[in-house]
Structure 1
């Protein structure tokens, strides 16, 4: 089941990159859109494999929680 979901994510990411690649004329815009799509696909696959990973808010609280206490 996970393998088919991973393949689905990769196929969707490839379709998005293909559509963006054809519609954009600038090389820089193509690279940026492809990079964002690849990062999103990797995050999606990681969350599919490890669904109990902390969210972005929890990560920020972990990283900067002590800074908040120091500043008060």
Structure 2
């Protein structure tokens, strides 16, 4: 069932890409690369979160990062 969701994510990303790509002028190379990188990274993140839903979020990373400082500040 997860494969159907992965195909749906890829299909949605493809539709977004096909809709937005012609609107970016050919002379704007940096904007095109930025669009490609952001679209690909968001697709990979969506698929990773679909396959591994128990991955810790960013707030848990910040907590682990600043936990030693809380002991010092008390």
For the aligned pair, the TM-score class normalised by the smaller chain equals 0.7 to 0.9
TM-score by length of 2: 0.80
TM-score by length of 1: 0.82
Alignment coverage as a number of residue pairs: 71
The unaligned stretches of length 5 or more in structure 2 are none
Q: How does 1:1-72 map to 2 (within 5 A)?
A: 1-25=1-25, 26-66=28-68, 68-69=69-70, 72=73
The unaligned stretches of length 5 or more in structure 1 are none
**Bigger relative contact order, structure 1 or 2 (CA pairs below 8 A, ≥6 apart):** 2
RMSD: 1.7
